[in-house]
């Protein structure tokens, strides 16, 4: 494994730590930006020289009505495979939260999360997207794609709001991107993996069986959801913050008709936006990577400021080391709920699990959490090795960590 160290970057903003006494400072004003910590840092640029990949806009998307929130063209970053990976494809769906009302979506369309006008022209390919065998042993020479996220509805909406000049076309973006990539060789794939982080990880679960149907039955197709297991769980006040959020997304963006019918034929559409109601019914093999104490869910779903008006959870939600005994019991209950949610799913041999007892979010695109000398492990197995063993049927992989604080390999995110 390549040796990675963490570098402190001094910028005005919140401080994020990944290990004891090692901190990263970022100008972070929204919790959704947790997902921007997508790669590890090196003390020496010679030790960490990530591949930079340019943005490709999908030129034919506009004619299909497949546009970002502001009407601009969607895009992706593609790095071609070679050698034994020339006919293998990895599609990574970008994450970045959701917008559930007109005000939030209008704000969002003035950012890279809602407009290709604001997207970076080049991005780093690290972790599961890396082109180096020592950083990404099983997928380094595949065709690797990162599909940018600019619809705010996990690639699932299909509606518009003319008054606010908003286009909710995530499902059309998904189809236009797949059509474009098929024209660039993906139709000839011998094997493919659909993966994604956070809101992209949820999109993987929603679109996985559709992805399977794009290819002949002889093609090996599997899916990987990283930090996408968002639970329908009460917040610390007894309210339902995340259900309210998801209901807003489903209603505003016209998601209902693009949800898996296996779910909507017996549950309401909002319930079918929650992975726990979908994963056991999926036909395509799925691997779930998730932190048992998902930091996004702690901060935005379980203990958001709106559910904690007196600030009882303020210190705990920013730094797990400041949680008191009662708060830790509450968080252990959240972990238990996550484990119950995957009970049926884990009984199928085709599926895989890596649930570590870390305070983290998105571990497949960050190099330090995907594959490095000090990567998080369960039973001495790093995320990259676990995913590879499962994808290539080298081993059945159902890894569930012991409860916090037993795991000393975590790269915990700490805000202070």
Q: Taking Cα atoms as reference points, which of 291, 413, 290 lies closest to residue 358?
A: 291
Cis peptide before 111, with omega less than 30 degrees from 0?
no
Beta bridge partners of 378: 381
Q: If DSSP codes are grouped into helix, strand and coil, which group holds residue 1?
A: coil
Q: Taking Cα atoms as reference points, which of 273, 283, 275 lies closest to residue 246?
A: 273
Residues serving a catalytic function are: 198, 294, 361
Q: If DSSP codes are grouped into helix, strand and coil, which group holds residue 192?
A: strand
Our measurement of the distance from residue 321's CA atom to the centroid of its chain's CA atoms, rounded to an integer in Å, reads 25
Q: Do residues 231 and 340 lie in contact, with contact meaning Cβ atoms separated by under 8 Å?
A: no
User: Which residue's entry shows tokens 């979506």?
Assistant: 105
The pair of structure tokens assigned to 10 is 């001094």
The pair of structure tokens assigned to 217 is 């039955």
CB-based burial label for 316 (10 Å; 0-12, 13-18, 19+): buried
CA distance 99 to 320: 27
Q: How many residues does the chain have?
A: 416
Say which residues have a Cβ less than 8 Å from residue 205's Cβ, sequence separation at least 6.
223, 225, 228, 275, 278, 279, 282, 286
CA distance 227 to 304: 18
Say which residues have a Cβ less than 8 Å from residue 97's Cβ, sequence separation at least 6.
30, 31, 32, 35, 113, 152, 198, 199
Cis peptide before 405, with omega less than 30 degrees from 0?
yes
User: Which residue's entry shows tokens 């995340």?
Assistant: 242
């Amino acid at each position: 494994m390549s040796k990675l160290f963490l570098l402190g970057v001094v910028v005005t903003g919140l401080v994020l730590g990944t290990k004891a006494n090692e901190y990263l400072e970022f100008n972070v004003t929204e919790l959704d930006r947790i997902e921007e910590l997508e790669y590890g840092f090196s003390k020496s640029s010679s030790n960490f020289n990530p591949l930079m990949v340019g943005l490709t806009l999908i030129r034919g998307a506009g004619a299909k009505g497949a546009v970002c929130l502001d009407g601009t063209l969607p895009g992706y970053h593609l790095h071609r495979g070679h050698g034994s990976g020339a006919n293998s494809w990895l599609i990574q769906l970008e994450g970045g939260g959701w917008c559930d009302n007109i005000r939030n979506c209008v704000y969002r369309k003035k950012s890279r999360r809602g407009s290709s006008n604001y997207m970076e022209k080049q991005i780093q390919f690290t972790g599961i997207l890396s082109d180096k065998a020592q950083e990404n042993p099983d997928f380094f020479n595949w065709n690797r794609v990162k599909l940018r996220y600019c619809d705010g509805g996990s690639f699932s909406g299909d509606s518009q709001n003319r008054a606010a000049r908003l286009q909710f076309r995530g499902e059309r973006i998904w189809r236009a991107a797949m059509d474009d990539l098929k024209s660039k060789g993906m139709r000839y794939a011998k094997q493919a993996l659909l993966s994604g982080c956070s809101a992209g990880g949820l999109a993987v679960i929603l679109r996985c069986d559709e992805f399977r149907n794009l290819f002949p039955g002889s093609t090996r197709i599997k899916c990987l959801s990283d930090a996408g297991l968002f639970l329908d769980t009460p917040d610390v006040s007894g309210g339902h913050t995340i259900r309210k959020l998801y209901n807003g997304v489903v209603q505003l963006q016209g998601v209902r008709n693009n949800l898996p019918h296996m779910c909507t034929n017996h549950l309401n559409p909002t319930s079918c936006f929650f992975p726990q109601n979908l994963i056991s019914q999926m036909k395509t093999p799925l691997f779930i990577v998730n932190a048992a104490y998902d930091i996004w869910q702690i901060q935005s779903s379980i203990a958001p400021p709106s559910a904690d008006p007196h600030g009882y959870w303020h210190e705990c939600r920013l730094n797990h080391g400041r949680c008191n005994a009662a708060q830790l019991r509450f968080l252990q209950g959240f972990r238990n709920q996550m484990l119950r949610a995957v009970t049926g799913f884990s009984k199928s041999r085709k599926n895989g699990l890596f649930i570590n007892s870390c305070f983290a979010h998105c571990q497949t695109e960050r190099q330090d959490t995907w594959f490095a000398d000090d990567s998080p492990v369960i039973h001495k197995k790093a995320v990259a090795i676990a995913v590879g063993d499962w994808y290539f049927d080298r081993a059945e992989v159902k890894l569930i960590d012991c409860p916090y604080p037993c795991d000393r390999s975590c790269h915990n995110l700490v805000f202070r």
